[in-house]
Structure 1
Amino acid sequence: MGRTRIAIFVDGADWHTRRLTAAFARRGATAVPVSLSACGFGPEGPMIAGFDGGLPDACLVRTISAGSFEQVTLRLGVLHALSHGGVPVANNPAAIERCVDKSATAFRLAAARVPTPRTWTVADPVQASAILAALHAEGRSAVLKPLFGSQGKGLRRLDPGMALPDPAEVAGVYHLQEYVGAADGGWFDWRVFVVDGRPLAAMVRQGDHWITNVKQGARCHPASPAGVLGDLALAAAAAVGADYAGVDVIRAPDGRFLVLEVNSMPAWRGLQAVAPADVAQALADLVLARLAAASPASADARRAG
């Protein structure tokens, strides 16, 4: 039997990819970075660049590049086909779809009774204006988010007296979430990193304005993933079916802890700087554990290519 080969789906060999490659190597596996944009389908099934006509033994999805609706559909289709063929994929494509689509995330969290701010997603601007007006009548603000987006990009806070942008500015969809200011004042929240059913690490993200993403300049401080933060993050990850996730949590002024978002392809460079756990190693071990649990027949079929 040859050396185990793992596909890391990523666009560009960045810091995260190097950490993951080293983590797999420590377990005797070879990691091959490959972009999903270089993959597709042939008469025999999925075609994965870098695997000489065969398939990887398992996959870790680090990033999926943006593209047209058709391009993104193809990339997700490749992940679905790999999973259907018995190749372990983390995160599984269904979980990725639920997290990439913020409306699906909100629905899953609500259905699982995970505490989260009130959220609406509509296409009709008249309906969206009525929702916003009702929030403003309560003296509350709303956060308008891109339905597909991450790293705090494209967020708008709509305070009382402010109107919605034109539909063309939001790709025809209004995803509105009730704005929740942090307890004790200031701008901060928590990111909890969940791996394989356990809260692995956590950090406080403190910003100079209400958007607290690290990519928007927030500072990272160590935090414990235990207790209510860990329990809430685990419930959120389970609600979307994610093997690993970055869960954003805020404590409202009334003391409640609320889940803001669930990220199925989270970065962790800022987190790693303040957390003792080796995130890359935990992810590599997750993927290899999924592979070990897969049937031998599936492994033989993967190598038949």
Structure 2
Amino acid sequence: MKINVDKWGLAALAVVLAVLPFTASGYVLYIVNLLMIYIVLALGLHLVIGETGQFALSHAAFYGIGIYTAGIINNTWHPNFVVSVLAAGVITAVLGYLLGALAIRMRDIYLALSTFAFGEAMQWVFLNWAEVTNGSNGYQMSPARFFGLELTSDLAAYPFVILGAALMLWLTVRLSRSQLGAAFRAVRESDVAARAMGIDANVVKRVAFMCSAAYAGVAGGLYTTFASFIHPESLGFWTTILILIMIVVGGIGSVRGAVIGAVIFGLISELLRQVLSFQEIIYGLILIGFMMFAPRGLFSGGARARKAALGESAGRAGT
């Protein structure tokens, strides 16, 4: 019954998204495009924190690298936007793997601090490497292209952003159900137990960092299909916190929770643009409240079901 409900929900969502371009204003389409970017970002952070248990705070940095990579490629060579999105994903995947190779030497708060430092360093680069990023003036991006068609509006970019987000969601579900996904969860529960089952925990962690960074890079590439400007201030620590809140409130370790959390807090962040001075306080209170009173989030499922699923995952990882 649960599967049928999920299928009906997905079908209804698909119908709404298909009808939306014919009934909604440009601003609404912009918001939907932005929500799809948040979904991809949340899914990426879900892989490294929710699936693998590595508390990384570098997501906004990889998102920014993806945006600047795709934007620079678009401005310089004007290729099919698929090329720039893939390039953004590949470059961030390589950087994520390298960061993971360094970060896996640390655990818990030390891991969080080291990845936070990387994120802050990258924002400094975005602000000061003026020859490439135009520094604090922000970076203007030319319209993305698709086989000669310029995507000059939110409506033109809408189907590509929707398809991109749907593809990343499908990949996340497939990965979660794969042997690699089982290895992620085994490492999350215990490095020692994972190694006892023949899993190379260090390799698994590096791959998790790589996949998470690639998702952020792809999200950045997709962002350039409907946005024409980016400022380094929007790629700071609070962007990572916003994505973290999405997966915490949705339910750490839950793909569904990451998606729903991204939608809810994507909309909340847009509403809070009217009270920018209170944004950080509100986000902080929400995060603290859920960590104290509902650490499993809204859609993580019961503890017994989680333990059963973890046991099954560990069994598959060892085979």
The TM-score bracket by the shorter chain reads: under 0.3
Q: Which has the higher contact order (CA 8 A, sep 6+)?
A: 2
Higher radius of gyration, 1 or 2: 1
Select the structure that is richer in strand.
1
**Which TM-score applies when normalising by structure 2?**
0.26
Q: Of Structure 1 and Structure 2, which has the larger fraction of its residues in helix?
A: 2
TM-score by length of 1: 0.27
